[in-house]
Amino acid sequence: MTIEIAHIRQAQERIFPYVQPTPLRPSHALSERLQAKVSLKFETMTATGAFKLRGATNKLLNLPEDQRARGVITVSSGNHGRAVAYISKALGIRAVVCMPEIVPPEKVAGLRDFGAEIVIHGQNQDEADAEARRIGQRDGLLFVSPFDDADVIAGQGTIGLELLEVAPQLDTVLVQLSGGGLMSGVAKALKSIKPEIEVIGISSLHGAAMLESIRAGKIVTVEEEPTIADALPGPIPPDNRYTFAMCRELVDDHIQVSEDQIAEAMAYILHNEKCIVEGAGAAGVAALLNHPDRFKGKNVAAILTGDNIKVERALSIIAKAQSPRT
């Protein structure tokens, strides 16, 4: 299946009862600092606090009735698991979420609060993924990929539609890269409507599997390291169907950001936008703050992708960061 703008428009109509458009707000502080027109897309305002609800909702609403009756399974320690659990509960669908043993107890409790059945298995994401697929085959549960799925990608792409509906004059959009589900959908929507728009992928310096794969011209394995932006790293499976090809085709440029830059961006967002975001959610702002000349005079948007972080941890990271300057 080739993902087209029509699929994204269909997803926008399909998910609307469950996922309303999120605000795109001008950032006075960033605009003044960069001498540009900067807007921020607040995906923190969805019901689960992250953009992942869009893709999960589109996927589950598009399931045939017999599969809805059997249920779904996924692997996630964060926003994707929360999204699948939330929309499954709303639709009355059984949802199982597999997580590795290293996941903090509060994240496990959070998913249970959303109504998911939890399976703890393995030392890492790959082992949890393998267990999820095994259980899915055994119990007839559909595996819902966090990113490499046509319906999931189309759902995430609705962000791109909303950006240009509100700000058709945008020159540049910064999108977190990660496994490519968000980027594939948003870039497809943006480029389909406005081919000349510049789309920049934002990756961390740790475990940037998609970026390294694009550079290598093939899917590669990278070493994962602990990071405050834990939603950004992660492996790209060798059987990837969509996101690698779409990201390679649609992304115009790439920026990587460091741990310190992400922490400083989290502090900057709290002080200037009055919003707590997780590390990955601050990555686009980190790129803006550290490459001001790159965006001078442009009309640019960045996405605050999620707020799935304990307030205490966020404040601890922010306290250690350099004091922001407006």
Q: How far apart are CA 274 and CA 93, in angstroms?
A: 36
pLDDT digits (tens, 9 = 90+) for 14-51: 999 999 999 999 999 999 999 999 999 999 999 999 99
Q: Give me the count of residues in the chain.
A: 326
Instruction: Look at the alpha carbons of 7, 48, 177, 273 in this order and tell me if their dihedral is positive or negative.
Output: positive
Locate all alpha helices (DSSP H) within 251-282, ordered by sequence: 259-273
Where, residue-wise, is CATH 3.40.50.1100 in the chain? 5-50+149-320, 53-143
For residue 95, the SS3 value is strand
Instruction: Tell me: pLDDT of 68 over 60.
Output: yes
pLDDT digits (tens, 9 = 90+) for 108-136: 887 888 889 999 999 877 788 899 999 99
> Could you say which architecture CATH assigns to the domain 5-50+149-320?
3-Layer(aba) Sandwich (3.40)
CB 180 within 8 A of CB 247: yes
Backbone angles phi, psi at 230, to 5 degrees: -70, -10
Predicted model pTM: 0.95
Residue showing tokens 């490499």: 148
Shortest CA distance to 170 belongs to which of 28, 4, 271, 298?
A: 298
Per DSSP, what are the bridge partners of residue 119? 98
Taking residues 149-168, report their average pLDDT.
98
pLDDT digits (tens, 9 = 90+) for 291-301: 999 999 999 99
Per DSSP, what are the bridge partners of residue 201? 175, 254
pLDDT digits (tens, 9 = 90+) for 140-155: 999 999 999 999 999 9
Backbone angles phi, psi at 247, to 5 degrees: -65, -40
Domain 53-143 CATH assignment equals 3.40.50.1100 = yes
Backbone angles phi, psi at 312, to 5 degrees: -60, -40
